[in-house]
Amino acid sequence: MRLEGVLPPIPTPFADHRVDEAAMRANVARWMGTRVRGVVVLGSNGEAPLLDEDESDAAIAAARDAVPADRLCLAGTGRESTVAAVRAAKRAAALGADAVLVRTPACFRTLLTAPALTDHYRAVADAAPVPVILYNFTALTGVTLPVESVARLAEHPNVVGMKESGSDLRFVSALIDSTPDDFAVMAGSAPVFFASLLVGAAGGILALASAVPDLCVELYDRVRAGRLDEARALQRRLTPLAGLVTSTHGVPGLKAALSLLGYAAGDPRPPLRPVGPDAVDDIRRALAELARPDGRVGSLRGR
Amino acid sequence: MRLEGVLPPIPTPFADHRVDEAAMRANVARWMGTRVRGVVVLGSNGEAPLLDEDESDAAIAAARDAVPADRLCLAGTGRESTVAAVRAAKRAAALGADAVLVRTPACFRTLLTAPALTDHYRAVADAAPVPVILYNFTALTGVTLPVESVARLAEHPNVVGMKESGSDLRFVSALIDSTPDDFAVMAGSAPVFFASLLVGAAGGILALASAVPDLCVELYDRVRAGRLDEARALQRRLTPLAGLVTSTHGVPGLKAALSLLGYAAGDPRPPLRPVGPDAVDDIRRALAELARPDGRVGSLRGR
Amino acid sequence: MRLEGVLPPIPTPFADHRVDEAAMRANVARWMGTRVRGVVVLGSNGEAPLLDEDESDAAIAAARDAVPADRLCLAGTGRESTVAAVRAAKRAAALGADAVLVRTPACFRTLLTAPALTDHYRAVADAAPVPVILYNFTALTGVTLPVESVARLAEHPNVVGMKESGSDLRFVSALIDSTPDDFAVMAGSAPVFFASLLVGAAGGILALASAVPDLCVELYDRVRAGRLDEARALQRRLTPLAGLVTSTHGVPGLKAALSLLGYAAGDPRPPLRPVGPDAVDDIRRALAELARPDGRVGSLRGR
Amino acid sequence: MRLEGVLPPIPTPFADHRVDEAAMRANVARWMGTRVRGVVVLGSNGEAPLLDEDESDAAIAAARDAVPADRLCLAGTGRESTVAAVRAAKRAAALGADAVLVRTPACFRTLLTAPALTDHYRAVADAAPVPVILYNFTALTGVTLPVESVARLAEHPNVVGMKESGSDLRFVSALIDSTPDDFAVMAGSAPVFFASLLVGAAGGILALASAVPDLCVELYDRVRAGRLDEARALQRRLTPLAGLVTSTHGVPGLKAALSLLGYAAGDPRPPLRPVGPDAVDDIRRALAELARPDGRVGSLRGR
């Protein structure tokens, strides 16, 4: 499994308070019509913490159904306890996930020292039948997986990469500088996708890529082709929508964007609430802006 | 149900990676030999986020077994999703819990606005067959239940009180000042138990009370009897141990203290790790200190 | 010098961009007609960081002029560098200050370790011709003077007390528990004045006392007389105004309150801005509320 | 004045508790023998908050003496009050500074709203006889100058650029995307210098450039020449030392590095303390590492 390129962490559609498996399959099928490398089901954008174990299994199975063998179907299986994280990883593998994305625990954060986190991930990596991808999302969890821990975990044969959701490029760079070349650091913050690729990220797992998958792949391709001014210009165009569907409105914003685009996204699960009409308008405008031809963004400064 | 006095939020003992129900019953029976008003099973000190739903049920059932009808058996049933929180409250009630303690969600914290939290708690309170106690623990969750939301929720006939785990007396006072007299604000931070009672708290749900239940009840009684200098002196004696089993070493510290005292506490569940020998020594010393007669603490300043 | 009771940290009036010394004297004279123990000139409510050294001297001299010998005139002399803090303390003493209130430095906060802070305060205490009062205001500075440092500094013969501006009663209690009985811990947060006194604070240095000095003294007297229910009731009445002139609107709110009360307070110095008309209305209402007879606040819950 | 390239924010040497002007001149003369675009005197690395106004003038005058007319001598003139900031800017201009770097105020941070900050900077920009550079350093001040405020201030004819000291590339990118092409955003965090240049920063004002000026210029030149792999490799080599002289050990670490390199840097001013011998060893090792030929750093991953 080569982890690189662009993967959307896809939302989980609900119907009648249950996971809507048919909608999940239909959405994934549509993403499979784009150039993304695969999908991540049950990342934080999949409202994973709001699903029970049976629902999690259903969501993973439905997504896997719609991802062909030559694309990646990654499954988020982070849990608060090590034993639950091990079980979830095993179940996801049995359901066909190509790899598991394991978010740090968040509870008891003051007790989640570097050794505690390292032991947690080692236990999961030892037990998981598929490769493990570390996942740090400090803004959500209040926990930071230390660079030194990542460096040590990267030596485990079953730990193949990491998703870092923050936009601190110093931290992203440190992760890359401290791990072997074949350890894939995946950007998790779309507004710094361009910068992350430049410092050595292998790709991106970006909420934004659920909404505009091919534009994200285009950005990636431009960087790989060395067309940096064009890549930077595209980044600049994408950033406003990226903000709306992540930091500003979160999962509810992403679901609103997908609904506008014709996906079966539905509402988030309570206590999350749908965004209001003003937010929908902002998102609609940002989507419309992106539909204009690339050329309207003038040349960039300096370089 | 009258919520007042002292209740320990009790740890969950594990054996062979499972909830040790016999140990739970034995521990609770021992606490029932003290003057506590009851127990809270599956609070954060019960490692609730590290248990699955079946284990949660087993822990509640075991605790309930050992709590006689004239004492309170409260069960922690907070969950990240509203639907799961509703289900957990119903199951706990069916298992005999006298009331449920519902911690705020923690995930997606930036989206947990006052209306989102209010709706969440209303849904739980509407559905729960037993009274609901709000539970705010900002240091753990990064979320703060706003005073205004508490004031509104206090009007719900099935919301009877709140546990506030912080030591900011301004916030504790605001909760008391903004709610009716029969809404029980319970202190969750032992180092401010005395101060909280003075500003109007109805009692305490204190990790410390798992270790030294009768001393905590004694502090409560002294305040109720107006023996404030003696209460303050006792608070001063209790504070060092309180720090060790909460902010300094957390659940693992509390389990170590209980093991030293002869309870069947065992180790915490990974990723939590047992405290090291130095911490055990510190805790042993603090326990020994408390075993000395009260009289050695001199008179207090000023008053 | 006995540090106890209530002292307002008074605002600095400006006229034509200069310290209005006549207004300062007139205001202080009016406070001297109340039962406060003295005043603090150039605390953070005095906009001390916005004054240059000559202006600071002028403010201290003017305040001292209006404080009779049997009351206290304390001067804020915290500075970022140790050498400047030493000089400011000497100058304030020469101008007649009875003691100096020395706020922690705030810049380079990650480098302000316990030893660095201890050395800083020792140098000031060694050099100051008058007693030194430590001053911790974490919300303003991002720096916390550790309890252990306070305990050590309290042994210095020229360090007589501390102002703590936070409302965390655990921290306030720890300061009191860790220092000798004659070390005066002064509450700096009016909403926890009652609670702070109960745990052993010697008094309060409270922005609120600039606006309603005698009500603050009354609260203090009720606690000292053991009339705790009445003291708690008064605290409850005072808290709303306290919030408005500190955390909600800060110095500009306090100046607005004083202007409404007929003091010559004027506007704050830029970059601070006067509060808007809505805030003035809120403050006016809170002041009017306090003008009603004490009796309207019913009996308190529980105790 | 064209703001671009690399400028070290230079430390202020002290002797006998006074600014050592001769040492300042000698140090600056040495930097003038490198390829830096100029120097910044009295940035936060110049311990500006620890100097009084006379000392500030002396430091600026000494630095200006040693900077020829074709290089830039920028002076830090941020102050807490607007009136003091205006005066400091005027004095610096009179002393020959080419432009002033104006850090946000830090005190009363909750009152430093966007309008308050905008007014502050407008007043300074209106009055300053030389161009103004905005300066945001959230880690030091707890204050963030909002992107929208920067966008508005960038329209002022006398505001020519900004130094951003953080490493959040999302924020850096937003500043660049929201301002005209001729508004110079200068990186202030050396570990993200490469990434910042790639997203459009005009250069860097980097503590690291005090220690290894020509290597920083080399990084800048490689990016400008499109030799990105080589630039990234150099960034990777520079990052460890950058961490030691900023986030890890701060100004004292930078002074230690400069002393090792033969500059007359001396000790920081209390309450800052010199770094200990272990830190000196770490810094010596990092400097030695950089003295090795560039070639030893192997090829980078991926691109």
Specify the 3-state DSSP secondary structure of D194.
helix
What pLDDT was estimated at residue A1?
81
- Shortest distance between the Cα of C118 and any Cα of chain D, in A, equals 9
Cβ contacts (< 8 Å) between C200 and chain B: which residues?
232, 300-303
Backbone angles phi, psi at D73, to 5 degrees: -120, 100
Residues C205, C43: contact at Cβ < 8 Å? yes
Res. A303: pLDDT tops 60: no
How far is it, in rounded angstroms, from Cα A10 to Cα A24? 9
What pLDDT was estimated at residue C295?
41
User: Per DSSP, what are the bridge partners of residue A40?
Assistant: A9, A74
Question: Which one of B14, B50, B254 makes the best mutation probe of the A interface by having the most chain A beta carbons within 10 Å?
Answer: B50
What average pLDDT does this structure show over A53-78? Answer: 98
- Shortest distance between the Cα of C70 and any Cα of chain D, in A, equals 33
| Residues of D designated as active site | 163
Question: Which one of C19, C51, C54, C108 makes the best mutation probe of the D interface by having the most chain D beta carbons within 10 Å?
Answer: C108
Q: Between C and D, how many residue pairs show a Cβ–Cβ distance under 8 A?
A: 108
pLDDT band at C297 (very low <50, low <70, confident <90, very high): very low
- Shortest distance between the Cα of D29 and any Cα of chain A, in A, equals 30
Say which residues have a Cβ less than 8 Å from residue C237's Cβ, sequence separation at least 6: C215, C289, C290, C294, C297
- Shortest distance between the Cα of B270 and any Cα of chain A, in A, equals 6
Cβ contacts (< 8 Å) between B272 and chain A: which residues?
108, 111, 116
- On whether ipTM exceeds 0.90, the answer is yes
The DSSP bridge pattern shows strands B14-15 and B18-19 to be antiparallel
How many other C-beta atoms can be found within 10 angstroms of the C-beta atom of residue D298?
Answer: 8
Cβ contacts (< 8 Å) between D194 and chain A: which residues?
198-199
Place of tokens 């002028």: C58
Task: Say which amino acid occupies C28.
Answer: V
Give C59-78 pLDDT, tens digit per residue: 999 999 999 999 999 999 99
Phi-psi region of B225 (alpha: psi -120 to 50; beta: other; left: phi over 0): alpha
What average pLDDT does this structure show over A285-289? Answer: 96
Cβ contacts (< 8 Å) between C241 and chain B: which residues?
none
| pTM of the complete model beyond 0.90 | yes
What pLDDT was estimated at residue D293?
62
Name all chains with 3 or more CB-CB pairs below 8 Å to chain A.
B, D
Give C126-155 pLDDT, tens digit per residue: 999 999 999 999 999 999 999 999 999 999
Residues A89, A77: contact at Cβ < 8 Å? yes
- Shortest distance between the Cα of B277 and any Cα of chain A, in A, equals 16
**Exposure letters B17-43 (e unless 16+ CB within 10 A, then b):** eebbbebbbebbebbbeeebbbbbbbb
Query: Considering only CB atoms, which residues of chain C are within 8 Å of chain D?
Result: 17, 44, 49-53, 80-84, 105-113, 115-117, 119-120, 123, 139-140, 142, 247, 250-252, 269-273
Say which residues have a Cβ less than 8 Å from residue A16's Cβ, sequence separation at least 6: none
How far is it, in rounded angstroms, from Cα C226 to Cα C215? 16
Specify the 3-state DSSP secondary structure of A19.
strand
Cβ contacts (< 8 Å) between A107 and chain B: which residues?
44, 49-50, 106, 140
What pLDDT was estimated at residue C293?
62
Res. B197: pLDDT tops 80: yes
Res. B291: pLDDT tops 90: no
Cβ contacts (< 8 Å) between D228 and chain A: which residues?
198, 228
Q: What's the DSSP call for residue B163?
A: E
| Residues of B designated as active site | 163
Residue whose C-alpha is closest to residue D168's, from D140, D187, D153: D187
**Nearest residue of C to residue D17 by CA position?**
C83
Are residues B81 and A271, on separate chains, in Cβ contact within 8 Å?
yes
Query: Considering only CB atoms, which residues of chain A are within 8 Å of chain D?
Result: 167-171, 173-174, 176-177, 181, 189, 191-192, 194-195, 198-200, 202, 223-224, 228, 232, 235-236, 239, 300-303
How far is it, in rounded angstroms, from Cα B65 to Cα B76? 16
How far is it, in rounded angstroms, from Cα D210 to Cα D24? 13
Res. A294: pLDDT tops 70: no
Tokens matching residue D200:
């459009």
How far is it, in rounded angstroms, from Cα C213 to Cα B4? 36
Res. A293: pLDDT tops 70: no
How far is it, in rounded angstroms, from Cα C253 to Cα A109? 37
Residues C68, C31: contact at Cβ < 8 Å? no
Q: Which run of H or of E encompasses D24?
A: helix D21-32
Res. C294: pLDDT tops 70: no
pLDDT band at B110 (very low <50, low <70, confident <90, very high): very high
What pLDDT was estimated at residue B16?
87
How far is it, in rounded angstroms, from Cα D156 to Cα D151? 10
Are residues B173 and C224, on separate chains, in Cβ contact within 8 Å?
no
Q: Per residue of chain D (303 residues), what is the pLDDT tens digit?
A: 899 999 999 999 999 889 999 999 999 999 999 999 999 999 999 999 999 999 999 999 999 999 999 999 999 999 999 999 999 999 999 999 999 999 999 999 999 999 999 999 999 999 999 999 999 999 999 999 999 999 999 999 999 999 999 999 999 999 999 999 999 999 999 999 999 999 999 999 999 999 999 999 999 999 999 999 999 999 999 999 999 999 999 999 999 999 999 999 999 999 999 999 999 999 999 999 998 764 443 333 333
Sign of CA dihedral A99, A204, A164, A208: negative
Provide the percentage of residues in chain A whose pLDDT is more than 70.
Answer: 96
Say which residue, D294 or A233, is predicted with more confidence: A233
